[in-house]
């Protein structure tokens, strides 16, 4: 209000427009700086040998093949477990639940799960999966922790999408004599697929990026895990170890570049697929 | 028909189980953290644990106060930088920017939020720490360096949630204000922003949660000295770093004390979430549909 009296509105408008544009540019600049630096320094290290070879001398030389496999293992385990749980919970909340208090409790539960710091998950995984359930240091223990972390993301995005499906879809299906589950399975969920897929991918991106939550449960082994009970070392954890223990800067750059490219490909790929599906569904 | 009904019944119960799975999991998490953390708090004393200034596991001293202060300082300093920038950016994206600029900014924000935290930490370690060392002296590992990294990490959270809040403000508000001859900035400042404020506060609190919870990126640039920092260029250790740095070799009561640290973290996060929820529910009606 006071500013209004000192600065004429039109000039205030111009100043603010400048600030808005500057903030947008700064955000883009930060992204370019971080991505650009990692890719410029890392990509020269990345070649087929780097991707397919075992690390030599705890990562001073050689490649990152076991880490890629470990990452795939933990992320796949997380996805396989969290996807049905997240979607199921979202379907229950949107289509079945009518007790307001229960809905709020379940939503709040998801918010808590989404906000628990990853290092607390790490401690919990150590105490529960590794020691109590005796899964030991294994990609299974790591994957299970990541499943719990990815669950709220999948749930929240699916819930928003499912509740945005118009009720006329459901009424039409009931009108044709379909049961509740048939309506959900044949009509509501297919219409919500783009949103649900986005949710799953977001959950998976969270899982594949995570190091702190798994650092005390996957075992940090340098060998390629064969069974789910073998220890492993996912890419982010490898990067952390290489960088903080000063093992090899070059290989750290390479690992960071690979990690960034995986995340970029997943994000961009999903956006394209979801876009296409949506256009197909809306006939546009 | 009877059989069909039974199937439907089973499906509903099955879905109910998936829905309460999160709640069960939270209870198990709390149970295990408490069981492991309680012995330390009991033996060392709750007040000594929370307000103790000295963390020296080898001497049996387990005061987490420096880490609590460390977490709070680094979080507040990062919010100080992140909040203005992200609010400007959110308003720009929701209200001002033309469509083709939006098409560019949205994936930028998504990508920023997708970059693994370890990569941010690595960038901080390799690029920021040397710059800080040359510009401000010292080792370069400091509260300020960690805050800069956290600023970038909480940007996408605050931007995307407050943008949703701004977009949820009904269009009539804008039209009425513009119709009365207000400039677009006056409309944003006097109408849209106040209406979206509860959602924006929620966004800030969630960003705060992310900053407090971040571990490895902070470890890589903060210096990790378990002392209360006396300037923004001092090194510090956060609650999360404390756990990650020592759990690998901790035994006995030291091990329990690290779970105790997790209890403190957990409490902070729960308080933040309750405040965020309270903001949403309290202002739900006042702000029209201008909440999340």
Q: What's the whole-model pTM score?
A: 0.90
Q: Look over chain B and give the mean of its residue pLDDT values, rounded to a whole number.
A: 88
Q: Are residues B6 and B135 in the same domain?
A: no
CATH of the domain at B207: 1.10.3720.10
CATH topology of domain A52-282: MetI-like fold (1.10.3720)
Question: Given a cut of 80, is residue B89 above it in pLDDT?
Answer: yes
Confidence band, pLDDT 50/70/90 cuts, at residue B7: confident
What's phi and psi for A247, nearest 5 deg?
A: -75, -55
Where is average pLDDT lowest: B22-31, B95-104, B230-239?
Answer: B95-104
Find residues 62-81 of chain B whose CB sits inside 8 Å of chain A. Answer: none
Q: Are residues B10 and B113 in the same domain?
A: no
pLDDT value, residue B292: 30
Q: Are residues B31 and B71 in the same domain?
A: no
pLDDT value, residue A2: 54
Q: At what angle do helices A249-282 and A9-42 cross, to 10 degrees?
A: 120
pLDDT value, residue B77: 95
Question: Given a cut of 50, is residue B273 above it in pLDDT?
Answer: yes
Residues of B in contact with A88 (CB under 8 A): 14-15, 17-19
Q: Are residues B38 and B162 in the same domain?
A: no
d(CA B40, CA B61): 11
Q: Are residues B32 and B80 in the same domain?
A: no
Q: Are residues B139 and B200 in the same domain?
A: yes
**Which residue(s) pair with B62 in the sheet?**
B55
User: Is B91 part of any domain?
Assistant: yes
pLDDT tens per residue across span B173-204: 889 999 998 888 888 988 899 888 888 998 99
Question: Which residues fall within 8 angstroms of residue A280, CB to CB, at 6 or more apart?
Answer: none
Structural domain harbouring B30: 2-49
User: Is B112 part of any domain?
Assistant: yes
Q: Are residues B221 and B255 in the same domain?
A: yes
Higher pLDDT, B119 or B6: B119
For residue B176 the two structure tokens come to 């009425």
For the segment B233-243, the average pLDDT, to the nearest whole number, is 93
Q: Domain count of chain B? A: 2
d(CA A255, CA A247): 13
For residue B220 the two structure tokens come to 């890589």
Question: Given a cut of 60, is residue B288 above it in pLDDT?
Answer: no
Question: Given a cut of 50, is residue A128 above it in pLDDT?
Answer: yes
Question: Given a cut of 70, is residue A152 above it in pLDDT?
Answer: yes
User: Is B288 part of any domain?
Assistant: no
Q: Are residues B135 and B238 in the same domain?
A: yes
Task: Find, among B167, B160, B135, the residue nearest to B148 by Cα.
Answer: B135
B236: exposed, middle or buried (Cβ count in 10 Å: 0-12, 13-18, 19+)? buried
Report domain extents, chain A: 52-282
Nearest neighbour of A13 by CB, restricted to B14, B183, B243: B183
pLDDT tens per residue across span A190-200: 989 888 988 99
Task: Provide the terminal-to-terminal Cα distance of chain B, rounded to the nearest Å.
Answer: 43
Q: At what angle do helices B65-91 and B239-246 cross, to 10 degrees?
A: 120
Q: Which residue in chain A has the smallest CA separation from B208?
A: A115
Asked if residue A81 lies in contact with residue A147, where contact means CB atoms within 8 angstroms, the answer is yes
pLDDT tens per residue across span A58-88: 888 888 999 999 999 999 999 999 999 999 9
Q: Which residue in chain B has the smallest CA separation from A268?
A: B107
Percent residues over pLDDT 70 in chain B: 95
pLDDT tens per residue across span B90-132: 999 988 888 888 888 888 888 888 899 999 999 999 999 999 9
User: Is B56 part of any domain?
Assistant: no
Question: What interface predicted TM-score (ipTM) does this complex get?
Answer: 0.90
Nearest neighbour of B16 by CB, restricted to A92, A109, A215: A92
Q: Are residues B214 and B272 in the same domain?
A: yes
For the segment B41-60, the average pLDDT, to the nearest whole number, is 88
Q: Which residue in chain B has the smallest CA separation from A151?
A: B22
Among B36, B115, B192, B261, the strongest candidate for a mutation testing the A interface, having the largest count of A CBs within 10 A, is: B115
pLDDT value, residue A274: 79
d(CA A166, CA A25): 38
How many angstroms from the chain centroid is the CA of residue B72? 11
Beta strands A61-62 and A55-56 are antiparallel
- CA angle A217/A144/A163 to nearest 5° reads 145
For the segment A224-249, the average pLDDT, to the nearest whole number, is 90
């Amino acid at each position: 209000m006071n500013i209004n009296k000192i600065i004429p509105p039109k000039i205030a408008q111009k100043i603010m427009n400048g600030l808005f544009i500057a903030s947008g540019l700064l955000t883009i600049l930060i992204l370019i700086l971080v991505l650009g630096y990692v890719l410029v320094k890392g990509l020269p290290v990345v070649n087929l040998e780097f991707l397919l070879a075992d690390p030599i001398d705890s990562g001073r030389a050689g490649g990152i093949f076991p880490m890629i496999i470990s990452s795939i293992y933990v992320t796949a385990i997380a996805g396989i477990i969290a996807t049905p749980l997240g979607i199921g919970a979202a379907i229950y909340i949107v289509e079945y639940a009518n007790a307001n208090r229960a809905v709020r409790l379940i939503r709040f539960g998801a918010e808590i799960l989404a906000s628990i710091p990853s290092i607390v998950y790490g401690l919990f995984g150590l105490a529960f999966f590794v020691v109590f359930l005796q899964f030991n240091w294994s990609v299974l223990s790591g994957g299970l922790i990541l499943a719990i972390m990815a669950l709220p993301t999948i749930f929240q995005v699916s819930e928003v999408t499912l509740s945005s499906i118009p009720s006329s879809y459901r009424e039409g299906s009931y009108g044709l004599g379909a049961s509740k589950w048939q309506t959900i399975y044949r009509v509501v969920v297919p219409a919500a697929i783009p949103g649900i897929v986005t949710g799953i991918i977001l959950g998976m991106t969270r899982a594949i990026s995570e190091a702190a939550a798994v650092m005390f449960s996957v075992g940090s082994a340098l060998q390629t895990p064969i069974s789910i009970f073998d220890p492993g070392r996912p890419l982010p954890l490898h990067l952390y170890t290489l960088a903080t223990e000063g093992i090899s800067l070059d290989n750290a750059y390479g690992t960071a570049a690979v990690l960034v490219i995986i995340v970029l490909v997943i994000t961009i790929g999903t956006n394209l697929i979801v876009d296409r599906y949506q256009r197909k569904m809306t006939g546009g | 028909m009877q059989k069909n009904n039974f199937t439907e019944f089973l499906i509903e119960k099955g879905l109910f189980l998936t829905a309460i799975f999160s709640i069960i999991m939270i209870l198990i998490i709390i149970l295990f953290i408490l069981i492991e953390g309680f012995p330390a708090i009991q033996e060392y004393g709750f007040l000594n644990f929370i307000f103790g200034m000295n963390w020296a596991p080898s001497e049996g001293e387990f005061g987490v106060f420096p880490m609590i202060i460390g977490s709070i300082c680094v979080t507040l300093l990062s919010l100080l930088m992140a909040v203005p920038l992200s609010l400007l950016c959110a308003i720009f994206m929701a209200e001002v920017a033309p469509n083709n600029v939006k098409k560019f900014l949205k994936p930028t924000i998504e990508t920023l939020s997708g970059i693994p935290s370890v990569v941010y930490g690595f960038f901080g370690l390799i690029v920021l720490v040397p710059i800080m060392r040359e510009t401000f002296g010292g080792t370069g590992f400091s509260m300020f360096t960690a805050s800069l990294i956290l600023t970038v990490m909480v940007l996408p959270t605050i931007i995307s949630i407050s943008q949703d809040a701004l977009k949820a403000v009904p269009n009539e508000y804008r039209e009425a204000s513009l119709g009365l001859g207000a400039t677009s900035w006056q409309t944003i400042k006097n109408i849209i922003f106040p209406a979206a404020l509860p959602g924006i506060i929620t966004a800030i609190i969630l960003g705060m949660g992310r900053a407090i919870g971040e571990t490895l990126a902070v470890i890589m640039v903060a210096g990790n000295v378990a002392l209360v920092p006396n300037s923004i260029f001092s090194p510090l250790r956060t609650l999360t770093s404390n756990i990650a740095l020592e759990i690998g070799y901790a035994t006995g009561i030291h091990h329990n004390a690290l779970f105790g640290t997790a209890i403190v973290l957990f409490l902070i996060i729960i308080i933040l979430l309750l405040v965020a929820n309270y903001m949403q529910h309290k202002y739900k009606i006042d702000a029209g549909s201008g909440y999340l």
